[in-house]
A and B are shown apart, each in its own frame.
Chain A
Amino acid sequence: MTAVFKREFKTFFTSPIGYCVIALMFGMTGLLFVNYNLYYLTPDLTMVFQGLQMYMLLLVLPILTMRLMSDDKRQKTDQLLLTSPVGLTGIVVGKFLAALLLFAISCSMTLICAVIIAFKATPTGWSFWAITPVCCCSAV
């Protein structure tokens, strides 16, 4: 399972996918943060998360996950994975964790936003954070 996880995670960075996704999410977070929090001077992060949600669900998650299983099937490398001692569960979990980690990295910009707010006030709107893992699970 760790072998599959390491390989899939590395693949995200040998192709443009990983970089594009992280760039997109960082960009959007930054934009939303500036627009809603810095401009209107509110410590409420809900709008940032709400804005991100659309991009997350529609763009980022399919980009990350649609290639995971189908690419192996197309290249016939699933034969290597399925005939190895790692069971199907191990393979799926490994791939899921790789996508989850990349997704977590791309969402990490919001933490930086929260830290910036925390210097002057208490950030609110954390309930929306729960959406993130739910989205991830649904995509996989």
Chain B
Amino acid sequence: MIEVQNLTKRYGSHCAVNDISFKVEEGEILGFLGPNGAGKSTTMNILTGYLSASSGTVKINGIDVLDDPNKAKSNIGYLPELPPLYLDMTVREYLDFVYDLKKCTINRRKHIAEICRLMHIEDVYGRLIKNLSKGYRQRVGFAQALIGNPPVLILDEPTVGLDPKQIIEIRTLIKNLGKHHTVILSSHILPEVEAVCDRIVIINEGRIVADNTAANLSAEFSSDHRLLARIAGDEQRVYALLKHVPGIADITTLGERETGVFEYALEPVHGADFRRPLFTTLAKEGFPLLGLKSMEMSLEEIFISLTREKLPEATRKGGKRK
């Protein structure tokens, strides 16, 4: 489990990471989102001990990274944005090297074989890393992070460069890993983050702008909770019928979308779910419900709206906020 408190990183007068705090519990998968240059990779580098923070504390499994860096680092498996691969080594040599580097005590042959099987790199086990394609290099990088079964995994864009089949495999793998490890996952692929992560942290210009589950974020940031329904049938009759469905507070006709099919925006009574009564009412009268869509903000829209606004000058420079 990871605890970050008041983390700040300054490069001269520019503040890359500005007073961020968050917590990741054991067995949780945290999604780390943010535009480029927001401070994601910097934060991850500070967590793993590659960079040192200007101020603030980082605790990995209760061990402060500054107090006992070696012990803290032995708990972490890190996959950086550019996998740190030695091009002149074979995959076998590289994984053996990482095994020794991390001072593992698990059975070497079995453990490495298991990881290769998980990442599907058995075919290229004897090949020079220089001669591997991008997808294979990414998988070897991921394998390196898994060696030693570290309780904490920090993955920076793990699916970049992989083909769709491999992306799905990695996603399933991360979801499975999340059951027994603490995972921080940084990605630009929002559907992936939504599908895999339990909680999402959005960082913009060095500050955290959101820290919640995807569902809560959607509820918090959406002002529009209406559902768009496409119903085939006479507008007047459907409108009259909809008025009788329990749970619908307001109906707005949006017009004809296809011949004989009209679209309606239906506002729910606070907290009510009228989808089932809507379906049964329409089916009883014989009006086909051709589509039902939520107007709540998707994660993409939330992300764009949160990261679009530039923070005011005073806070951006990292000065004390009044």
Contacts and interface: CB of A to CB of B under 8 A. Distances in A.
Interface string B138-168: 0000001000000000000000000000000
A87 B70 contact: yes
A79 B80 contact: yes
A77 B73 contact: no
A80 B144 contact: yes
Nearest to A78: B84
A79 B84 contact: yes
A90 to B, nearest CB: 9
Nearest to B72: A85
Interface in A1-59: 2-4, 6-7, 10-11, 14-15
Contacts of B80: 76, 79
Q: How many B residues touch the partner, as a band?
A: 20 to 34
Interface string A57-76: 00000000000000000011
B299 interface: no
A77 B97 contact: no
Nearest to B141: A80
Interface in A64-107: 75-87
A127 B98 CA distance: 42
B51 to A, nearest CB: 9
Contact of B84 (A7, A77, A87): A77
B195 interface: no
Contact of B101 (A4, A10, A76): A4
A85 B84 contact: no
Contact of A87 (B48, B50, B69, B102): B69
Contact of A83 (B49, B86, B89, B93): B49
Given A7-B97, A76-B82, 6 more contacts: A75-B87, A77-B84, A79-B80, A84-B73, A85-B73, A85-B102
A120 B71 CA distance: 58
B84 A76 contact: yes
Contacts of B97: 3, 6-7
14 contacts: A3-B101, A4-B101, A76-B80, A77-B84, A79-B45, A79-B84, A80-B144, A82-B50, A83-B50, A84-B98, A84-B102, A85-B70, A85-B102, A87-B69
